[in-house]
Chain A
Amino acid sequence: MMKRLLALLRNELVMTRTTLSIHLLGFFQPALMFSLMAFVLVMPTFELYVARSSLPLGESLVEAMVQVNSPIGDAYIEPLLVEWQQGDDIPGGQVVELAISDGMPTAVQHFDLIDSNIVKNYRNRLTSAGLILWEEELGRAAIQIEERPLLPVDVPYNVYFGMGMLPLAAWIGASFVAAFLSAQEFEFKTIQEYRLAPAHWGLVLGARLLRLSLTGLLSSMVLMITLYVFEQAWPSPLGLALGMLVLMGLIGACVGTSAALVLKQTLPSFVIALASAFFTWIMGGAFGLPAGFGGVYEAVSRWVPNSYAVRALFPLYYPIEPSHPNSYLILFVFATAAVIATILIYRKSVLSVEEVRQ
């Protein structure tokens, strides 16, 4: 049996040559996406336009803005002085004007048509700069905030983001190729060969899923190496990370294969693989640990395998806490459920008498 499985596996690998471009897309798309997004996703430093003012507050406020930063990381404000008065276009979405209001100097933040998230970022930065001036005046009456960060340095956001994309890479690599290969079996009628094969269907399906899981693993390894090149972040121990990503690849393979077995056409199967890949990625802690977002998001994320993959990967990238054995177990349960569902769909779509007659 083992010999036959290996022969089937070899056949699957040979088939890679016929769909090389699809494989290359699966291998490199997540790494490309990460490489591009890494440059634009999070910019801690905001340009803050400040209207030139003759008030003494103007100069000291700009000096305070320069001091708003992470003691172990980046500056948060880059103040830019501009000639501006009310009625002029607002540069950069926001400008700080220093004026006298009710006899008191006031820093008025004029916003353009920007959203609440950017307003929040501008507001917080101005308050931080203002607080520096206030506390200088307060002297020893000012409250000292003693920072106790968990890690010695603020870790760049890209490390988390890249780590969060690893399960997506495994899913994409496996599910896209799975959808493509399995749907084409129907489109080119080669599914008939599987029906007539003397080998047990379990071996045929097993070899396919195994090879697709490895495809997913390869895809995530390309991203893993890219993340290392960008941020010098590498999982330790590597074996645990790879094992977990094989499970993610297996789940992606099952989704892609099942979609193709049901729909029997390449494009719709691809739509399902695509939609599932990005939905589970975003819901599974793509932009931060789900516990940090709370509410419905956290509740829904419990039903998404990616969030367990991220939880399992987290201690491999951050020296914070031991691995969550539960995450591996739950991921294993997800993978088992996906395989069982795929087997049932395979039997119905490929082996049932009705399908054979058609």
Chain B
Amino acid sequence: MRRLWLLFRSELVVWRRDPITALGGVLPPALILIAFSLLFGGRLSFKIAVVNQDEGPYGSILRETFDEVISPLNDVPYYAVFDLSERDAHIAYERGEMDGIWVIPPDFSERVVAQEDPHIEMWFNNYNDDRAKNHRIYASEIVWAFYERIGLEAPFGLAETYPREEMVDWVSVIAVGVALLSATLGSIFNMYALTYKEQVEGLILEFGLAPRSLLWVWMPKIILALLFGWGSGTIFLIVIRFWLGYWPGRLLPAALFLMGLVSLFWIGFAVVIGIRSRNYMAGALGVVLTAIIIYFIGGGMSLVRFRSEDVLKIAWLFPNTHAIDPLRDLVLFQTWPADWNPTILILSGFAFLSIIAGVSVSSRQLRRLD
């Protein structure tokens, strides 16, 4: 135990000399989170110009409807409307300052009253099919609300039930993904920080000649890297608590357990790649970039549980994809994940295999047995 403590302390000294690498689990995820919160956390209304040429009342009613139909996404209207002349609207639209233009023609009210094909023009930029789709389905919300406002009776009603009083917003979903990314990067960067100096200064040979088991070398490094992974992830959980108001509470140990198992997988993976690749740094870069790709394709930005068939098969080969939704259950919904047992089994398998492979492959490499 004393030996372990001594080695542990010497590793801590290495870490203290290189604090920026230790922040590798905090700095990139923090910037990614800031960028995503600015991107998706603000007012996501489509900017459109409404050109109301109608001479009757219905054009104005339609115009007012835009402000009243609220999107569940960030609780703002689907459209941020600017009342412009047709000429100004088209200039702004062509400059890319407007997403679209709705033109209400002069005879709109007349046709509504006469029930003779009232129509409106919807100009929109379809440079990507997602925004084009949103223009079309948002328009349905506006027209539905307009019919209701003018007293038409729908053939059936629409209603919704949600299992919580408040809806979880998208940025919170992304933030938990970033917390897991942070735990992942925290453990990877610190594992590399703890082995890089040995690689650069040739100390690796001394390890290879050590009379004791090489587990003594790896144990403190693995524990420290795990602690830093936890530390980085916890920083983000605290940020989520004070910024977004979500905290796992008594479920915190379960959340940390999930993050720890994911971290252990990446620690083992990092050791294998770092030791086996001919260029140590290339191995490190490769592992970090793989973790970031897995963040993006493995549910970092959206829930995967309900659309699992759309998740790439390769993403399921990494523990993050399995852990992310149970982690969201714990943090955002404060509920015990229904798939907790299978998730833990899968994550433990990943972690166990990765650590065993990491330690045995790297020990053989250090002993020059390969």
- Interface positions of A (Cβ within 8 A of B): 19, 21-22, 24-25, 29, 32-33, 36-37, 39-40, 42-44, 47, 57, 68, 70, 72-74, 76, 92-94, 101, 104-120, 123-128, 130-131, 133-134, 137-151, 153-157, 159-161, 176, 180, 187, 263, 265-268, 270-272, 274-276, 278-279, 282-283, 287-289, 291-297, 300, 314, 318, 320-321
Cβ–Cβ contact A278 & B156, under 8 A: no
Cβ–Cβ contact A143 & B281, under 8 A: no
Kindly list chain B residues whose C-beta atoms are within 8 Å of the C-beta of A287: 39
Q: B345 at interface (Cβ–Cβ under 8 A)?
A: no
Compute how far the CA of A274 lies from the CA of B314 in the bound complex, rounded to whole angstroms.
23
Residue of A nearest to B278 (CB): A21
Kindly list chain B residues whose C-beta atoms are within 8 Å of the C-beta of A110: 160-161
* A–B pairs, 15, beta carbons within 8 Å: A22-B281, A33-B289, A73-B129, A104-B156, A110-B160, A111-B162, A115-B173, A117-B40, A117-B302, A123-B72, A123-B160, A134-B155, A144-B120, A154-B133, A160-B127
A114 contact from B35, B39, B129, B306, Cβ within 8 A? B306
The 10 tightest CB contacts between A and B, nearest first, are A93-B306, A21-B282, A268-B20, A282-B35, A124-B137, A141-B115, A279-B31, A154-B129, A144-B119, A106-B157
Cβ–Cβ contact B131 & A288, under 8 A: yes
Compute how far the CA of A38 lies from the CA of B293 in the bound complex, rounded to whole angstroms.
12
Cβ–Cβ contact B277 & A21, under 8 A: yes
Kindly list chain A residues whose C-beta atoms are within 8 Å of the C-beta of B236: none
Kindly list chain B residues whose C-beta atoms are within 8 Å of the C-beta of A150: 123-127
Cβ–Cβ contact B155 & A137, under 8 A: yes
Cβ–Cβ contact B285 & A115, under 8 A: no
Of the listed stretches B21-29, B212-220, B262-270, name the one at the interface; the rest are far from the partner chain: B21-29
Kindly list chain A residues whose C-beta atoms are within 8 Å of the C-beta of B156: 57, 104-107, 130, 133
Output the least CB separation between B314 and chain A (Å): 7
Interface of A is mostly: helix
Interface residues in B284-328 (C-beta closer than 8 Å to A):
284-286, 288-289, 292-293, 296-297, 302-303, 305-307, 310-312, 314-315
Cβ–Cβ contact B303 & A114, under 8 A: yes
Compute how far the CA of A123 lies from the CA of B141 in the bound complex, rounded to whole angstroms.
9
Residue of B nearest to A277 (CB): B28
Kindly list chain A residues whose C-beta atoms are within 8 Å of the C-beta of B66: none
Cβ–Cβ contact A119 & B162, under 8 A: yes
Residue of B nearest to A183 (CB): B281
Residue of A nearest to B140 (CB): A128
Compute how far the CA of A113 lies from the CA of B338 in the bound complex, rounded to whole angstroms.
12
Cβ–Cβ contact A275 & B27, under 8 A: yes
Output the least CB separation between A322 and chain B (Å): 11
Interface residues in B10-67 (C-beta closer than 8 Å to A):
18, 20-21, 23-24, 27-28, 31-32, 34-36, 38-40, 42-47
B140 contact from A107, A124, A138, A282, Cβ within 8 A? A124
Query: With A127-B137, A300-B38 in contact, do A33 and B293 touch (Cβ < 8 Å)?
Result: yes
Query: With A116-B170, A143-B120 in contact, do A176 and B285 touch (Cβ < 8 Å)?
Result: yes
Kindly list chain A residues whose C-beta atoms are within 8 Å of the C-beta of B97: 291
Residue of A nearest to B170 (CB): A117
Q: B159 at interface (Cβ–Cβ under 8 A)?
A: yes
Kindly list chain A residues whose C-beta atoms are within 8 Å of the C-beta of B160: 108-111, 119, 123
Cβ–Cβ contact A108 & B310, under 8 A: no
Compute how far the CA of A276 lies from the CA of B136 in the bound complex, rounded to whole angstroms.
36
A288 contact from B120, B128, B314, Cβ within 8 A? B128
Query: With A131-B140, A131-B143, A292-B46 in contact, do A25 and B129 touch (Cβ < 8 Å)?
Result: no
Output the least CB separation between B170 and chain A (Å): 4
Query: With A128-B137, A266-B196, A271-B23 in contact, do A293 and B44 touch (Cβ < 8 Å)?
Result: yes
Cβ–Cβ contact B129 & A44, under 8 A: yes
Of the listed stretches B144-152, B227-235, B355-363, name the one at the interface; the rest are far from the partner chain: B144-152
Cβ–Cβ contact A265 & B128, under 8 A: no
Compute how far the CA of A302 lies from the CA of B75 in the bound complex, rounded to whole angstroms.
26
Cβ–Cβ contact B158 & A267, under 8 A: no
A40 contact from B146, B284, B297, Cβ within 8 A? B297
A131 contact from B32, B116, B144, Cβ within 8 A? B144
Query: With A113-B163, A114-B303, A127-B158 in contact, do A151 and B127 touch (Cβ < 8 Å)?
Result: yes
Kindly list chain A residues whose C-beta atoms are within 8 Å of the C-beta of B168: 113-116
Cβ–Cβ contact B72 & A22, under 8 A: no
Q: B335 at interface (Cβ–Cβ under 8 A)?
A: yes
Compute how far the CA of A282 lies from the CA of B51 in the bound complex, rounded to whole angstroms.
33
